Structure 1
Amino acid sequence: MKSLTITSPAKVNLHLEVLKKRADGYHELLTIFHRISLADTLTLQKKPAGITIQTNHPGVPTGHRNMIWKAFEMVKKDFPFEGGVTVRLKKRIPVAGGLGGGSSNAASFLLGLKRLYRLPLTQKALLKMGARLGADVNFFLLNTRQALGEGAGERLKSLSCQKRFWFVLVTMPKALSTARVYSVLQPADYREPSLTKKIQIAKLPHGLSKYLLAQKQVSLRNDLQAASIRCYPALSRVLKLFDSLNVKARLISGSGPSVFGVTTSKNKAAELAKQIRKSLRTYKQIIVCHSL
């Protein structure tokens, strides 16, 4: 095999709870990752040595700051092999949009590189590297639609989810870094974890489907939302727009600046997207997608 192509899906966080700040400066989280159909495409091609990254997006670094590059160097160090790779990355996931694009790219690259060179990478080894690369990477290494994430998000438990949701994503014109959002996060933005039991959170997607079908309001939680709005005040306008359009469940995904509304059908999502485009005429990144 000289080359292969692999998809790299995005995610939304249906729940994101900040539990506490750790001694190392990171925050303990409890979150629900949900895989969606919006995806990038990676084509990996063998070459004699090293790594070259090519992309259609000017905002994506093609050097050592790219998580794909870091993943390649990590594999070369831990599992040395002869050969290199050219990566052609076709971006569809908004960059720095709170949708896990960079983490997904790194995970898909690891899985693709394993296949391309038939590397002896076990699931345990992949997850160990994923945790070192970034908090969201391990979710994309799992073959699951949905997972409960703990720690910084790297400790995962797959959650059963038979229901397919439809999403309308609105991504703000300017990127928002996760580091910036955490830098303005205040203790008052998150509350004690005892108020929401882990077992109840794990059942949230089932309850979400039930409430949406009954046309009832669903209060989704993201403890980073207030900090994201401090960094990007226009996010509140999008949230209010979803409310005015009678969307029963909406939330900022991760650290933003993407906001999603949840519906139960393709037709409802398409109609919602149409209404949003009328109100936000200058916004180009309004995307309809579904659970993967």
Structure 2
Amino acid sequence: MIQYPNAKINLGLHITSKRPDGYHEIVSCLYPLPLCDALEIIPSKKTTFDSTGIPIPGKEQDNLILKAYKLLRKDFPDLPPIAVHLHKVIPIGAGLGGGSADAGFALTLMNRLFDLFLDDWLLEEYAEKLGSDCPFFIQNTPKLVSGRGEIMKDIPLDLSGKWIVLINPNIHISTQEAYAGVTPKAPIHDLKQVLSDPAKWKDELINDFEQSIFEKYPMLKKVKHSLYAKGAFYAAMSGSGSTLFGLFDQEPHFGKSEEGFFVYEGLF
């Protein structure tokens, strides 16, 4: 069985406080993108994992897809071994949620493949154990998120017919590095109200990571300005970076502006 885990962007991202457990409280809007990996899972004689496309760093035992399988097998010990193949397209560590998407989609795929009949709320509980963004990909619809990102509410936001350009200049920014430059604070504007009026987005839809990260990596600020120069009605960094995205009313024909950059254009 094959599914196509998609990326996400953050529309606004506020770091509001640091929690006693070391995590941060956030407020953000997650929105699914048409950029996808390809994930195949089939029953097998023994559990294996292989991948093509973008190389996946790290040890196999740390792979979120295999962790998702092990979580399910704790409660469903009769699950057979699986063979997993992942074709990786979404840039890794780029603020696009690619690893979280692979994990979330693996849960929904195995739920269907093995007729587990688990409701979304229960799949989201499994996904929360894998990572803060993972629950979002169970329903995979626009959400206002809070807490660590696991508290989700539906939001009537529709970008259908709009175009998106993603530019990733292959700068790796760790989550630890991103949070180190941020002082948590209450947002100036209510995110839900801002999202209801796209005319306010350029001035009021803020990613709190941008200020410190742009100071450290001026190239990212230049990329954001280039998106506006090409006609984007909104441009921002997604998550903790380093991907920048621009939203356009018309097809932008951006193309690869710099050698080595990952550039993607797509229609919502």
Q: So what's the TM-score if we normalise by structure 2?
A: 0.91
C-alpha deviations, 1:167-213, integer Å up to 9, x for none?
Answer: 1110122332223312x2231xx5323x323xxx22444411xx39x
For 1:153, the equivalent position in structure 2 comes to 149
Matched, 1:6 2:7: no
Task: Give 5+ residue unaligned stretches, structure 1.
Answer: none
Q: Is the 8 A contact 1:16 1:31 kept in 2?
A: yes
> How far does the alpha carbon of each residue in 1:197-255 deviate from its partner, in whole angstroms, 9 at most, with x for none?
3xxx22444411xx39xxx9554210111243355342122123234445331100000
Question: Aligned partners of 1:79, 1:232: CA distance in 2, in Å?
Answer: 47
1:289 and 2:256 are equivalent in the alignment: no
Could you say which residue in structure 2 is the equivalent of 1:232? Answer: 217
Cα distance change on mapping 1:217 and 1:234 into 2, 3 Å: closer
Contact 2:232 2:249 in 1 (8 A): no
SS at structure 2 position matched to 1:29: strand
Deviates more, 1:118-127 or 1:69-78: 118-127
Partner of 1:101: 98
Cα distance change of structure 1 residues 249 and 82 upon mapping to structure 2, 3 Å threshold = closer
Asked if 1:21 corresponds to 2:21, the answer is: no
1:263 to 241, 245, 248: 248
Q: CA RMSD in A?
A: 2.1
Task: Compute the TM-score of the two structures, normalised by the length of structure 1.
Answer: 0.84
SS in 1 for 2:62: coil
CA distance in 1, matches of 2:158, 2:55: 37
Structure 1 residues 107 and 84: CA distance shift in structure 2, 3 A: same
Larger relative helix fraction: 1
Secondary structure of residue in 2 paired with 1:234: helix
- Number of aligned residue pairs: 267
Calculate percent identity across the aligned residue pairs: 28
Cα shift at 1:115 = 1.1
- Structure 1 residue 130 displacement after superposition: 1.1
Q: What SS is found at the alignment partner of 1:20? A: strand
Secondary structure in 1 matching 2:101:
helix
Please state if 1:202 is matched with 2:179. no
Structure 2 distance, partners of 1:258, 1:230, is: 16
After superposition, the Cα gap between the structure-2 partners of 1:191 and 1:82, relative to the gap in structure 1 and judged at 3 Å, is closer
- The answer to whether the Cα contact below 8 Å between 2:182 and 2:209 also exists between their aligned partners in 1 is no
Partner of 2:186: 192
1:136, distance to aligned residue in structure 2 (A): 0.7
Cα distance in 2, alignment partners of residues 8 and 28 from structure 1: 26
